[in-house]
Structures are given as structure tokens and as C-alpha cells.
Amino acid sequence: MVKICCIGAGYVGGPTMAMIAYKCPDIQVVVVDISVPRITAWNSDRLPIFEPGLDEVVKSCRNTNLFFSSDVEAHIADSDIIFVSVNTPTKTRGLGAGKAADLTYWESAARMIADVAKSDKIVVEKSTVPVKTAEAIEKILNHNSRDGVNFQILSNPEFLAEGTAINDLTNPDRVLIGGRQTPEGQKAVAVLKGVYAKWVPEDRIITTNLWSAELSKLAANAILAQRISSINAMSALCEATGANVAEVAYAVGKDTRIGPKFLNASVGFGGSCFQKDILNLVYICECNGLTEVANYWRQVVQINDYQKLRFVNRVVSSMFNTVSGKKILVLGFAFKKDTGDTRETPAIDVCLGLLGDKAKLSIYDPQVSEDQIRRDLAMNKFDWDHPQHLVPSSPTANSKEMVTVTFDAYEAAKGAHGICIMTEWDEFKSLDYQRIYDGMEKPAFVFDGRNVVNVEELRKIGFVVYSIGKPLDAWMKDLPAAPLS
């Protein structure tokens, strides 16, 4: 029996290893993590992450050929293949702060592997890492390993989308494996390819050199984010000219060279990957003297920040240029529907912008806890990717007077002056907006950051409605735009 160990029980390691165990009953899979509470949650009836279909996959093979353990060293020593899926946060200080990836956890994992390994291992990069990370990891392993123990490093980046991770794992567009162009390296590639070939068609398993695999992950996320920033930039022009961004996106997406995906205008992209990976790409370009290339990719992030700021300013300017003391209902806090993940969610920047103008926020999300919301609002930029004990607390974000978290959208709407829709949860499309309107202060505003509501129906009820990239409500046309600051 082949034995696989995955270091890191997060959003990538947990679901990926669960799918390998589910599809390969002849392989023993152990997911290890130094966080005992996280491992306890994986072994419980309430998993630490929400992902449609994940519960069924985990529970079907847990304690059969899928195990979760905090005994990290023992399982590393006992495995044949070691996936490393640890955090690669953005550096917050020192060289490359705000852009470069912090490989502290990766280096610690590599040193632990070298220290405890008594037999040859295939070490697989599953985290998103900078190009040439494999070379650094090889040096650490080879300089610290026992005599006679050999390591082969592979790059096997993940291409999961949260909310559809189980389907992405079951039926992937591609599986990418990069390895050294040596007989030993290609033998290791063949071993890992054989694992995925148990359920993935062979023509979807792509093999490349190490550096191409490492760069492909960053390139994929950068190009996807670029599409979102492109349509969001168009949404601002649509509002200025009276065009409808949904119609523009539909017409553009009909071009087979472009296609319709990732052309939905919104308040901005979020999640753990897009911004972090683009900034890392910017840093790599700068380190290689490619200033113009770095500036090109930096602009993708700048447009995303601009879109969030533009949304906040639209809220403030529409409500008589102040939201001080006004109650705003925030519908949705996760960065997208069908996940409880709040990392880099646009809701954070929008909420902080409104709090900066002394608004009172009432926040509702069906999957995000109050503790998580308050933590997110109290963090500095990039702190979400670092241990919680390093994160400072913000009195404003945790003030019961300024921020309340509710689990009833109708109760939360009572006495509100406006509603900001920040996540495209399906339930927000079918709320009884007449009931909500009746309980709100007038004029009652809806600011749809995800284009999920029927604008005309809401205007018939009496709402003043702003929808990203759509023709402006007559009310808003008559108001001067607030300066972007």
C-alpha cells in the first residue's frame, strides 16, 4: 500500500487528500497539522471548512484509509509521498514586505522532513509558491538529510475554486505535475501521475518541468483576476455613459476567443489567492528587472482596490454625503457564495470604509460566524494569513455599538437606511424585499455589489437602487460624485 502524508489541513490539503482517499481505496492517506483544534474538527461531525459535498467524501473514507492526525513527525517518517500544503503568507515586514511570499512555514516543513525521513521520499509542492522554490527546498533537504536518503521534489499546484472544490477535484480541467528532467525526477512524476490516473483521464494530466508548473499557478490566478478587473473597469465606464455592463459582458463573451467566464462585474474579487499571488508575481518580476511587467500586473490589484473604494463612495454620496449614525445592513461577508471563507473578502474593505464614516453596521451571512467577522474587521492587511496571536485587536471593529452580527436578515433590516449586498448567496435573490422595505427608514437604498437583485422590481417597491455597472437611478444622476480618497 502506498502511503501519502499531507502536511497542512487547510482549504487545499483537507479536500484534496479526502478526494485521493475516496478515489484510491488502496492508498493510505494521512493529513497532519500542528493545530490540534483543526485536526479535532476534521475528526468531528462539523468539519473546519464549509464546502458543498465535502462532508460526504470525508465521512465515507475517514478512519478507513483517510486519517487526520497531529502526530506530524511519525506520519512523515512512515510515508512514501509527502504533500506540503502549508501557508505561504505575504510578508508583512522586511525585504519584499507587502508583496513577497513568506516561506517560513515551507522551510520549517522541509527541515522536519529531512530530520525524520529514514527512507526515500517524493516531496510534492501543493502550496502556491514562487518560481524556483523547489530549488531552495532541494538544498534544504539534501544538506540536512541522513546518508542514503534521497528526495525528489515535484510541483503539483492546486486549481480549486472554493464553493466548487469537490466537483473540481472529481472532474478537473487538468492536473499539473512538474518535475526534474532526470531519470529519477521523471520516475517520481510517473508515480504521482499514477495516483491521479485512478480517476482523472490521462490526457488531462499535464507534465512539465518544475519551473513551468510553479509559474503556471501564479499565471492562472493572475489572468483570471485580470479578467475580473477588466470587466470592473468597464463597469465604471458603463455607469458614466448609461451602458449596461451585463449586456456588454454578454456581447463580449460571445466571442469564442474570449468566452463568458469571469466577466461578471462586482464590488471586487477576494479569496486567499488572487491578490496574494499577483503581488507575489509583481515581486518576482521586480527581482528579475522586469519593471514594466510588474507594473502591468500591479494595476490588476489597483483596479480591484479602486472598485471597492468606488462602491463605498457611491453609498456615501447617495445618502446625502454622510452615513454617520445611519444603520446599514450588510448582506453577505464571505468572499463568494457557497463558502465560509472570508480571506480578502471585499466586504472587509467596504465595511471599514463605512465605519470610517461612522456608519452603524448590521451584518448577516449564512456561513460566517460573528467571531470571524469581528476578527476580520480588526486585522491589518495581510494579518489574516498569519497566526492569530500576532493579530492586534481593534476597539472600533469589535464595538457592539458600531457593528452587530445577526442571523435574521429581516430583523437586521428594521430601521436600516440602506442595504449593501456583498456576497451572491442565492437566498438574497428571493428575500421578501417588500417586507424589508416596509421596516426601513425612507428613502431606502439598496447597493447591489454582486448584481443579484432585480433592479426594476426593487424600484417599483420604492427602493433607490445602485447596481454595479448598470444605468444609474435617477436619484443618483442628480448627485455630485464623492471624491475618491
Checking DSSP bridges between strand 2-7 and strand 27-32, what pairing results, if any?
A: parallel
Helix (H, G, I), strand (E, B) or coil at 421: strand
Question: Which segments are annotated as binding site for NAD(+)?
Answer: 8-13, 33, 38, 86-90, 127-128, 162, 273-276, 343
Question: At 256, is the secondary structure helix, strand, or coil?
Answer: coil
Q: What is the DSSP string of 136-196?
A: HHHHHHHHHSPTT--EEEEE------TTSHHHHHHS-S-EEEEE-SSHHHHHHHHHHHHHH
| Interatomic CA distance for residues 230 and 269, integer angstroms | 12
Cβ contact 273:235 at 8 Å = no
The residue annotated as part of the active site, out of 5, 6, 24, 273, is: 273
Q: Annotated catalytic, 273?
A: yes
Binding-site residues, in ranges, read 8-13, 33, 38, 86-90, 127-128, 162, 273-276, 343
- Of 115, 120, 111, the C-alpha closest to 139 is 111
CB-based contacts of 42: which residues, under 8 Å, 6+ apart? Answer: 9, 14, 31, 48, 58, 68
| Whole-Å CA distances, 286 to 77, 163, 225, 265 | 39, 34, 20, 30
Please name which of 187, 200, 126 lies closest in space to residue 157, comparing C-alpha atoms: 126
Helix extents (H) in 334-400: 346-356, 370-378
Helix (H), strand (E) counts: the chain: 18, 14
Cell triple for residue 12? 487545499
Q: Which residues are catalytic?
A: 273
